[in-house]
Amino acid sequence: MEFVIENYILRATEEGKIERFWKEDKKNKKPDRWKELKGNKKKGGYLQLKLLLTSGLRNVLVHRLVYYAYNPDFDIWDSSPNNVIDHRDGNPSNNKIENLQNITQQQ
């Protein structure tokens, strides 16, 4: 599922991976392509990416990006207790879309 975050064209796979679209690079003779973004594991096992957006450098959790790709009404920047993405199986490394659900922290 393709989506845009400011200056990035991204794609989330059903397996929970995030890929970035790179336009053709004529200088290095590379065609248009999708490339998986590798992130860092955060404390607790959550995968996060650093994105240099037009608004500045942001750390974004992969599970929030995946959920947003399939649910565009979700506010990806609202990290309040009423806007939590839960991993149904309790595994923070499992970012498959069917494993993610939007809950309140009280749930």
Q: How far is CA 41 from the centre of its chain?
A: 13
Chain segment 63-107, per-residue pLDDT in tens: 999 999 999 999 999 988 888 999 999 999 999 999 999 988 765
Chain segment 12-39, per-residue pLDDT in tens: 999 999 999 988 777 777 788 899 999 9
Of 34, 32, 29, give the one whose Cα is nearest residue 18.
34
pTM of the shown model: 0.88
